[in-house]
């Protein structure tokens, strides 16, 4: 009977059921990630922070410090830096909020005049109708906003729990990261342990390269735009700078959205001309970032096609919101390197888009390569 079925139909059927199995596995994976996001998101954030802080912990350990003490110093030192930055941002918001509120009314008047006398040529009645419609929409959806406020309390509890989990996991990543990884490698068959270990080491070095490079790019972006905001006398320059720094960790869309918020603040506070100047500054910084900073600082280490970046960000937003968008690109970059290592062989990494200093023979904690038993 099978001989009577054309070869093309049989091939199509074989491909079809295999694709269905793959799609089913992907769907199950996304379902599990969505169900376990309260655990997976803190672990992912801890992994990114470990990639950033691990070199400092290793430096302390190389100078004779106990690994537990080194991990604790790096962890609490990082917390101190973040707390200091948050304190500066909060003080800046408290100090600049009064100036912003005083200038908002004048900025709104300028925007209204521009809408009436500018290219849009709207009438005052149309503007008043739009304002009344917005107010009525808010009144009609009071229950929705109230429910959202109640849900915020639950979300706050999740944030506190996730923060504590991040600290707990991060400490042990800094203290026993290599040990934990070798334990995971030991779960695989002995014949593939060395390859799995090598792929993991290359993915880890790629993640370190990504976090370091992106942090430096974000710092340069934030400082450049901060100087421009201060020169243009835009209110809340320091909080906007912190927002731009965080936004730079989401490739392509993060810098654009955070810069757009700065433009909106400049528009409301200082008027259209000032907002256009801020917009031009953001575009200039983004061009320098895309054509100079990222190729120079990241290079081939974490090179991922823009289509893959956009799809990864979209999938991350769909599964885990803003945090998903933050961790999706480094996850894709690391998996890409690991897959290339496994598919092309251990020594093909030299031609793959990874850091040039990757050692194809990963060392174990005692400095010896991971050995396979015959």
For residue 353, the SS3 value is coil
User: Domains in the chain: how many in total?
Assistant: 1
What 8-state DSSP symbol labels residue 369?
Answer: B
Q: Is there a domain that residue 18 lies in?
A: no
pLDDT per residue over 252-263, tens digit each? 677 788 888 888
- In whole angstroms, give the CA distance from residue 265 to residue 242: 14
27 in a structural domain: no
- Position with higher pLDDT, 142 vs 245: 245
Question: What is the pLDDT, as a whole number, of residue 20?
Answer: 93
Q: Are 278 and 266 in contact (CB under 8 A)?
A: yes
pLDDT at 227 (0 to 100): 92
Whether 282 contacts 264, CB under 8 Å? no
Residue at token pair 């005083």: 102
What are 290-313's pLDDT values in tens digits?
Answer: 777 776 766 555 667 777 777 877
The pLDDT assigned to 30 comes to 77
- Structural domain contains residue 338: yes
- The domain of 165 spans 37-351
Per residue in 119-178, pLDDT (tens digit) is 666 666 666 666 667 666 656 665 554 554 445 555 677 778 888 898 999 999 999 888
Q: Is the pLDDT of residue 116 over 80?
A: no
Range with lowest mean pLDDT among 237-246, 259-268, 296-305, 335-344: 296-305
The model scores a pTM over 0.85: no
Residue 373 included in any domain: no
Alpha-carbon radius of gyration of the chain: 26
Residue 284 has pLDDT above 70, yes or no: yes
pLDDT at 131: 65
168 part of a folded domain: yes
Q: Is 81 exposed, middle or buried (0-12, 13-18, 19+ CB in 10 A)?
A: exposed
Mean pLDDT score of the chain: 76
pLDDT score, position 373? 42
- Torsion, Cα 328 331 333 338, to 10 degrees, reads -160
Asked if 270 and 102 count as a contact pair (C-beta separation under 8 A), the reply is no
Q: Which among 100-104, 127-131, 360-364 has the top mean pLDDT?
A: 127-131
Kindly state whether residue 358 falls inside one of the protein's structural domains.
no
Under the banding of pLDDT at 50, 70 and 90, the label for residue 86 is confident
Q: Is residue 13 part of a domain?
A: no
* Mean pLDDT, rounded, for 12-24: 89
Please provide the size of the chain in residues: 374
Output the CA angle 332-334-335, nearest 5 degrees. 65
> Is residue 363 classed as helix, strand or coil in its secondary structure?
strand
Report the C-alpha gap between 131 and 129 in whole angstroms: 5
Question: Would you say residue 26 lies in a domain?
Answer: no
Share of the chain above pLDDT 70, in %: 70
């Amino acid at each position: 009977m099978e001989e009577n079925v054309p070869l093309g139909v049989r091939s199509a059927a074989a491909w079809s059921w295999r694709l269905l199995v793959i799609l089913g596995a992907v769907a199950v994976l996304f379902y599990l990630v969505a169900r376990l996001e309260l655990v997976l998101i803190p672990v992912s954030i801890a992994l990114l922070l470990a990639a950033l802080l691990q070199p400092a912990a290793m430096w302390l350990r190389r100078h004779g410090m106990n690994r537990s003490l080194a991990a604790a110093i790096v962890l609490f030192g990082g917390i101190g830096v973040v707390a200091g930055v948050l304190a500066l941002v909060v003080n800046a918001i408290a100090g600049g909020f009064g100036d912003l509120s005083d200038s908002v009314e004048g900025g709104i008047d300028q925007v209204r005049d521009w809408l009436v006398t500018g290219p849009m040529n709207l009438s005052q009645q149309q503007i008043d109708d739009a304002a009344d419609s917005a107010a009525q929409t808010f009144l009609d959806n009071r229950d929705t906003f109230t429910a959202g406020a109640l849900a915020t309390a639950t979300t706050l509890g999740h944030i506190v729990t996730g923060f504590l989990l991040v600290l707990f996991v991060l400490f042990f990543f800094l203290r026993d990261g290599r040990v934990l990884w070798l334990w995971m490698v030991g779960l695989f068959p002995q014949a593939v342990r060395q390859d799995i270990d090598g792929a993991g080491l290359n993915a880890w070095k790629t993640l370190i390269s990504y976090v370091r490079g992106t942090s430096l790019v974000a710092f340069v972006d934030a400082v450049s735009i901060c100087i421009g905001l201060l020169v243009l006398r835009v209110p809340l320059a320091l909080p906007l700078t912190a927002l731009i720094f965080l936004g730079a960790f989401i490739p392509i869309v993060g810098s654009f959205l955070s810069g757009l918020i700065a433009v909106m603040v400049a528009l409301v506070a200082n008027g259209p001309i000032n907002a256009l100047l801020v917009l031009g500054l953001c575009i200039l910084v983004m061009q320098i970032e895309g054509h100079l900073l990222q190729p120079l600082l990241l290079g081939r280490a974490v090179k991922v096609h823009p289509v893959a970046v956009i799809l990864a960000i979209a999938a991350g937003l769909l599964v885990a919101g803003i945090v998903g968008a933050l961790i999706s690109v480094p996850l894709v970059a690391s998996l890409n390197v690991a897959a290339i290592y496994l598919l092309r062989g251990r020594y093909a990494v030299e031609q793959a888009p990874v850091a040039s200093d990757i050692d194809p023979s990963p060392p174990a904690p005692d400095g010896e390569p991971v050995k396979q038993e015959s």
